[in-house]
Amino acid sequence: MAGVHLIERLWSLKFVTGLRCRECGREYPAAAQHACEFCFGPLEVAYDYDAIAAEVSPRRIAAGPPSLWRYSALLPDADGERVDIGAGMTRLRRAPRLGAELGLSHLWIKNDGGNPTHSFKDRVVSVALSAARSFGYEVAACASTGNLANSVAAHASAAGMASIVFIPSDLERGKVAATTVYDGTVISVDGSYDDVNRLCAELSASRQWAFVNVNVRPYYAEGSKTIAFEIAEQLGWRAPDAVVIPVASGSLLTKTHKGFGELHRVGLLADEPQVAIHGAQAQGCSPIAQAFEAGSDDVLPVKPQTIAKSLAIGNPADGYYALKDARATGGRIASVPEDSVAEGMRLLARTEGIFTETAGGVTIAALERLVREGAITPDQETVAFITGVGLKTLEALEAVSTTHLRHASVEAVDEALSGAHFGSADLPSRAGA
Ligand SMILES: *Cc1c(COP(=O)(O)O)cnc(C)c1O
Ligand SMILES: [Zn+2]
């Protein structure tokens, strides 16, 4: 498949020494390949960390672009081929009101809803398509639970590539509309994400398409590390004590862990980071949380039935490694009841003014549970990952309550609000003063 012309371009990935099997350690040249030919283990991008350490510094990073490409030294960077529509450098905000409600004194929200297509998936797609372009691909594809489709279609359009995205046919309207607008090809399949993913794995064997989460998955996964890089930079080159991450395939969780470790490896974090890595799943699709609770290493596939459709992966590719990372760091993979998801969305909105999608509701509900059960203690500096915006999952909030007026008059307002209290809203009017 990879012709001479593709191979030739590989070496332009700065600091990347190749791909390495997570299981047996075998090395491969950096190409569009995701599984080890000997043991079928997943391949990861390998770097020359000593060379990176000699090049990176907080000052150089700060002088870089206001996107995840400021960390290019720690990414498969195809320099001239970057597909950059501004993913990354999202806000890290203190969340004092939510913290007070939950009993945490140092709570932060990393709000990845601020990305170009409003979810963290822009991180992985920007990196995956940059690599894909450097390999010579002209078509971007993916299997998606919704947000990935948005992001692939948008990045492909901006890069002048064609896109073909595959989604389960029961996705939220907002996610489908936000994908079709980019004018790529959207194929909706009657079946679960896991069916869609299997189809894409089959297609990737016979098509010259860059499936961002199949054949170029090693590069895709690297994009997730940048959320850890940003948190550390935004905290003044420190790591937090704990993070809470919504989990679908487990890739974001495992790469966040890898990201903090790499910062130490290249000297950007002086102390070895001790971040408890917690994962969050909704009960209706919680295969990793179930294995965690059972004390097992085996993630048994489930048939997803959850309101959190962006997390509805029943057979998670990185489930085993997510379990390992949580356990190794003193974290947990927690599941939350389905009806707590919308509650979590509302709680975040009403305390911090942030409207997140269902995946963020899962994070907040899990955070609440982890604090209640003592897995996160009150003075731990904690970062909750908010990975997407609420406008794409309006369905989750069926009951919308507004105060309705028949006439646009002050009297109608007084009548409608009679008895309600608005603090200092009853200030004397200027005219009367
Ligand atoms: C895809 C997704 C996740 C989780 O991603 P994985 O890396 O597959 O675990 C979390 N939140 C949102 C909003 C997503 O779209
Ligand atoms: Zn192997």
**Tokens at 367, concatenated:** 């955070």
Share of the chain above pLDDT 90, in %: 83
Mean per-residue pLDDT over the chain, rounded: 92
Ligand 1: residues whose CB is within 6 Å? 119-121, 147, 246-252, 310-311, 357, 359, 387-388
- The domain 91-118+222-396 is placed in CATH, from the list 1.10.1840.10, 3.40.50.1100, 2.30.30.60, 3.40.50.1950, at 3.40.50.1100
Could you tell me the distance, in angstroms and rounded to a whole number, from the CA of residue 248 to the centre of ligand 1?
A: 5
d(CA 228, CA 255): 8
For residue 11, pLDDT beyond 90: no
d(CA 317, CA 320): 8
Number of other CB atoms surrounding residue 99 within 10 Å: 22
d(CA 400, CA 220): 37
The full DSSP string for 344-379 is: HHHHHHHHH---B-HHHHHHHHHHHHHHHTTSS-TT
Residue 345, C-beta contacts closer than 8 angstroms, at least 6 positions apart = 355, 356, 357, 358, 360, 361, 364, 390, 396, 397
Report pLDDT for 432: 42
Could you tell me the distance, in angstroms and rounded to a whole number, from the CA of residue 145 to the centre of ligand 1?
A: 9
Q: From the CA of 252, give the closest atom in ligand 1.
A: 7
For residue 1, pLDDT beyond 60: no
Alpha helices in 167-239 (DSSP H): 173-180, 193-206, 217-234
Kindly list the domain boundaries of the chain, sorted by start residue.
91-118+222-396, 402-433
Could you tell me the distance, in angstroms and rounded to a whole number, from the CA of residue 318 to the centre of ligand 1?
A: 12
State the number of CA atoms in the 13 A half-sphere of 390 facing the CB: 20
For residue 433, pLDDT beyond 70: no
Partners of 243 in the β-ladder: 277, 383
For residue 171, pLDDT beyond 90: no
Candidate of 115, 120, 254 to mutate for ligand 1, largest count of ligand atoms within 8 Å of Cβ: 120
Q: From the CA of 358, give the closest atom in ligand 1.
A: 13
pLDDT digits (tens, 9 = 90+) for 134-152: 999 999 999 998 999 999 9
d(CA 338, CA 341): 6
What are the distances in angstroms from CA 204 to CA 130, 207, 211?
A: 18, 5, 7
Report pLDDT for 265: 97
Under the banding of pLDDT at 50, 70 and 90, the label for residue 53 is: very high
Report pLDDT for 173: 87
Among protein residues, the one whose CA lies closest to atom 11 of ligand 1: 387
Helix axis angle for 251-265 and 319-329, nearest 10°, is 50
d(CA 2, CA 72): 25
- Average pLDDT (271-288) is 97
Task: Specify the pTM.
Answer: 0.93
Q: From the CA of 112, give the closest atom in ligand 1.
A: 13
Ligand nearest to the CA of residue 357, numbered in listed order: 1
Ligand nearest to the CA of residue 24, numbered in listed order: 2
pLDDT digits (tens, 9 = 90+) for 54-96: 999 999 999 999 999 999 999 999 777 899 999 999 999 999 9
Q: From the CA of 313, give the closest atom in ligand 1.
A: 8
Cβ atoms 121, 359 nearer than 8 A:
no
Report pLDDT for 404: 85
- Average pLDDT (310-326) is 96
242-256, 265-279, 384-398: least confident range: 384-398
